Structure 1
């Protein structure tokens, strides 16, 4: 019996919309399960432990440095610097695009990068909170939006607290904690054509004035929503730069090379014993047709196939296995009956 391979199967990740969950996300840097040397013998318990460690590893999304992430991180850090001495009308970012194009991943990677840099610059600082992450609830009211900030901070909300009291408590605490970046996801839930949506938009603008931080928003197709309409919309449009988050193209050579690089990164992250390097790259055209170039759908497809390969004991991903995986409805409805693309087969080794 050999020594069991090391493992570190974390508990389910806490919500990013609490400071504890956010800090856990920033601290997270999971190592892949080690590869077992040829001839390693494990008993039944060790084998099951190793199997579960690999499954847990494949349930984690692989972070790929996509053009969207690079653009958001680079531009976001510039905005933070430019806003350093601004007392009002600070400039922000809006990441806008279809579902599954990596908007939330992009803004959270910006936040993670900013917080890690802040920690390195001030290693002895205690109690600061460089980054805040909240989501806009559906049909949000001004009080609900302020409540999301309070929930992130862990501010106890008494039943009779007014919107003004909650807002003041949030702004005062964030000022003391030195927050420099506020991330707001699901911004499309602000419907400026409704009274609640318009008032919640005003609340967000007020918070951006009271809190000396750069605001970065993300949402579905924000450019075509009501967010930029009317007087309120003009104010938002005048302060925020929109960074589009698009599906990967596949028409010109540069697009195909970018897509292949994405597939290569995801393939290299896999931990399966019978996998032949280059298998997924050879299916790059098929994978694009299957996912519509959406990074979220590609991640689901590859990770689910990897888990299936471990569970079934085959330890390899095949096209038949990929064909059997059901993807999200957004991808399925745009390609209901299209013929599958044939992919290049790897030549057999001599």
Structure 2
């Protein structure tokens, strides 16, 4: 069972405490729970828990009797959690760059722009530009490409280019109910121009053997 936005629970609210107790009761069922959130250790949900040095798992102690009016929650055994961190893509190592390019290739295969081409997202300056715009955050990357595709269709370009994406603003929609302190509102880079590579200065031609004139053929 997947439960998203788990970090929106705030344990100073009684209703949220009851919700967390209900989630913990689900662990008594024959089901695997996957709780998804941003900065779970810093959210307060793991408050009072500790890491078992032998197993590397987080141990979530039993709620103290009287602090919750969910009777079953007060008698349940300690629960163990494995925290899996999904960090943004890394663009500083060959392995990180390859992983980012593989992800872009998967997105590219699903795009249906009329003038798209193989390597549209994975060649030239495009991968580096996409990383600079999103810092490797998957959600921002998805929004940028989606909004860029909309602009490409409206404008008739029907392909994604760094120049087109530079005119595309990443829109997160209404995030008034998100908590910036918990990392739910990512930092969005602004005013990132397309990467321009310096043009090479053309080498001068060797003129040592040029006929500079000044003499007639019979001279």
Q: Would the TM-score normalized by the shorter structure come out above 0.5?
A: yes
Cα separation, partners in 2 of 1:231 and 1:342, compared to 1, 3 Å: closer
Q: How many residues align?
A: 161
Q: Distance in 1 between matches of 2:132 and 2:16?
A: 38
Aligned to 1:9: none
Q: Distance in 1 between matches of 2:31 and 2:197?
A: 50
Partner of residue 135 from structure 2, selected from 285, 292, 295: 292
Contact 1:250 1:259 in 2 (8 A): yes
1:234 to 60, 68, 73: 60
Q: Give distance in 2, aligned partners of 1:189 and 1:253.
A: 36
1:208–1:342 CA distance, 2 compared to 1 (3 A)? same
Distance 2:93 2:103 in 1: 16
Report the Cα offset of residue 280 of structure 1.
2.0
Deviation per residue, 1:86-125 (Å, 9 max, x gap):
xxxxxxxxxxxxxxxxxxxxxxxxxxxxxxxxxxxxxxxx
SS at match of 1:220: coil
Write out aligned runs for 1:197-236 (5 A): 197-209=16-28, 211-230=29-48, 234-235=60-61
Larger radius of gyration: 2
- Quote the RMSD (CA, aligned, Å): 2.8
Relative to total residues, which structure has the larger helix share, 1 or 2? 1
Query: Structure 1 residues 194 and 274 mapped into 2: Cα distance closer, same or farther (>3 Å)?
Result: closer
Distance in 2 separating the partners of 1:295 and 1:231:
29
- Does the CA contact (< 8 Å) of 1:291 and 1:298 recur in 2? yes
Q: Does 1:276 align with 2:117?
A: yes
Which segments of 5 or more consecutive residues in structure 2 lack a partner in the other structure?
51-58, 63-77, 173-184, 199-219
CA displacement 1:46-84 (0-9 Å, x = unmatched): xxxxxxxxxxxxxxxxxxxxxxxxxxxxxxxxxxxxxxx
Q: Normalising by structure 2, what TM-score? A: 0.63
- Deviation of 1:336 after TM superposition, in Å, equals 4.0
Gaps of 5+ in 1: 1-181, 346-350
